């Protein structure tokens, strides 16, 4: 019975995530020279920390100069600072900065899917999200062509043509899916041609790859440490494969916990009770170890506050770990449901609670 419930829950959560409007978060940027541009505010898929990605030239002190801290503001007037920006790829007009003004887990937008080719090739029309001080102006654009890194586009309407100027830099290009309220980011505008007839954007799947391989992993390890390290695992619904592979291993990253669902089930779960000083969390990370066994087919995270359980969502899977974001709430217990791949046990290496 529990197996059917978990799969039904997975389907419900997945459909819910698809049909909800994603938080497209373009922001205004003001650099040290008081020059303005735009950027995209997003949550890191690694640890749910908040970042902005923007063209490097928007936050340069001077042409080809160093990138500097900058101020940002969103459509609701919230603001903060972009700290110690990094331009990870030499010769590429792109920079990332971790920000103040938002806490971990509060930046709900993402950098998009791993490969946008399918979506771009099937949808010639996009919108540039041009952020004004108190509202966003979607401007209709037509895709002219694209390659593995860049997208070229042109305005469709007169209103869109009026925005084809340098101030468009940093605006996201998004797809609007007919019948489904989803903003899918596909590109970040880098420049407009001198005749102001064509714009060029860097694909968001390329931006995501750069962030994950050259930025996120360079952050201090302390950003992924456990909240106080004090939590208890209980109510384990799993079959452990051998005596050496124990559940407690995942608290200290000592060996692996290799487990599978009970007979006839497709998932197993365990509850996590936090120390009283560690109830406010931005999310969790579940690490895998392929040398011990397979990674999960999926992970669902639930939270309990008082007597009420709520589904936080489906965790984002990467080859070595899953990142599970929590809403801005206080929970006294978590439930982690692990969905196995067909015919395999799951090897968990470490559970990390993020502040």
**How does pLDDT run across 120-142, given as a tens digit for each residue?**
776 677 777 776 655 566 778 88
Q: How far apart are CA 233 and CA 286, in angstroms?
A: 14
pLDDT at 123: 66
DSSP 36: E
- 334 has pLDDT over 80: yes
- 42 has pLDDT over 70: yes
| Mean pLDDT value across residues 113-126 | 75
User: How many Cα neighbours within 13 Å face the side chain of 202?
Assistant: 22
pLDDT at 13: 36
pLDDT at 305: 76
pLDDT at 220: 45
Using only the alpha carbons of the chain, give its radius of gyration.
Answer: 22
- Higher-pLDDT residue of 10 and 215 is 215
Paired strand residues for 353: 284
- 15 has pLDDT over 50: no
- 274 has pLDDT over 70: yes
- 355 has pLDDT over 70: no
User: How many Cα neighbours within 13 Å face the side chain of 90?
Assistant: 0
- 168 has pLDDT over 60: yes
Residue 325: CB atoms within 10 A of its CB come to 25
CB under 8 Å to 323, separation ≥6 — which residues?
45, 46, 47, 48, 283, 284, 285, 315, 316
- Higher-pLDDT residue of 22 and 40 is 40
- 278 has pLDDT over 50: no
| Mean pLDDT value across residues 25-40 | 78
Give the least confident one: 43-57, 73-87, 176-190, 324-338.
176-190
Task: With beta carbons less than 8 A apart as the criterion, state whether 323 and 329 touch.
Answer: no
- CA 12 remoteness from chain centre: 21
| Mean pLDDT value across residues 30-53 | 81
The pLDDT mean for the chain works out to 77
| Mean pLDDT value across residues 103-129 | 77
Confidence of residue 35 (pLDDT cuts 50, 70, 90): low
**Domains defined for the chain, CATH in brackets:** 21-223 (2.40.10.120), 225-354 (2.60.120.260)
- 240 has pLDDT over 80: yes
| Mean pLDDT value across residues 243-272 | 81
pLDDT at 6: 44
- 65 has pLDDT over 60: yes
| Mean pLDDT value across residues 279-298 | 80
pLDDT at 3: 45
Longest CA–CA separation in the chain, Å: 70
**Strand runs labelled E in 167-261:** 172-176, 183-192, 199-203, 231-237, 239-240, 257-260
């Amino acid at each position: 019975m529990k197996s059917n419930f978990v799969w039904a829950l997975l389907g419900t959560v997945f459909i819910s995530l698809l049909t909800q409007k994603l938080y497209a978060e373009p922001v205004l940027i003001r650099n040290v020279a008081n020059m303005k541009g735009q950027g995209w505010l997003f949550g890191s898929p690694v640890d749910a920390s908040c970042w902005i990605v923007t063209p490097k030239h928007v936050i340069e002190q001077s042409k080809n100069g160093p990138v500097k801290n900058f101020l940002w503001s969103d459509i609701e007037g919230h603001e903060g600072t972009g700290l110690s920006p990094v331009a990870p790829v030499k010769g590429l007009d792109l920079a990332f900065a971790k920000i103040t003004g938002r806490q971990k887990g509060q930046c709900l937008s993402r950098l998009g899917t791993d490969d946008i080719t399918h979506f771009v090739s099937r949808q010639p029309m996009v919108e540039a999200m041009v952020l004004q001080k108190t509202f966003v102006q979607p401007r209709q654009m037509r895709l002219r062509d694209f390659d593995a890194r860049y997208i070229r586009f042109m305005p469709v309407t007169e209103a869109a043509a009026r925005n084809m100027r340098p101030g468009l830099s940093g605006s996201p290009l998004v797809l609007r899916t007919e019948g489904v309220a989803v903003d899918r980011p596909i590109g970040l505008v880098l420049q407009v041609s001198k005749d102001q007839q064509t714009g060029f954007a860097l694909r968001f799947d390329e931006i995501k790859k750069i962030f994950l391989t050259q930025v996120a992993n360079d952050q201090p390890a302390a950003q992924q440490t456990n909240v106080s390290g004090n939590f208890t695992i209980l109510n384990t619904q799993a079959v452990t494969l051998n005596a050496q592979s124990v559940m407690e291993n995942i608290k200290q990253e000592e060996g692996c916990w290799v487990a599978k669902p009970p007979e006839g089930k497709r998932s197993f779960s365990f509850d996590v009770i936090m120390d009283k000083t560690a109830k406010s969390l931005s999310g969790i990370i579940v690490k895998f170890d392929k040398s011990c066994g397979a990674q999960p087919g999926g992970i669902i995270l639930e939270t309990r506050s008082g007597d009420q359980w709520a589904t936080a969502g489906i965790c984002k899977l990467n080859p070595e770990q899953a990142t599970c974001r929590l809403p801005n709430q206080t929970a006294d217990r978590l439930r982690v449901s692990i969905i196995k791949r067909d015919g395999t046990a799951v090897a968990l290496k470490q559970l990390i609670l993020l502040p």
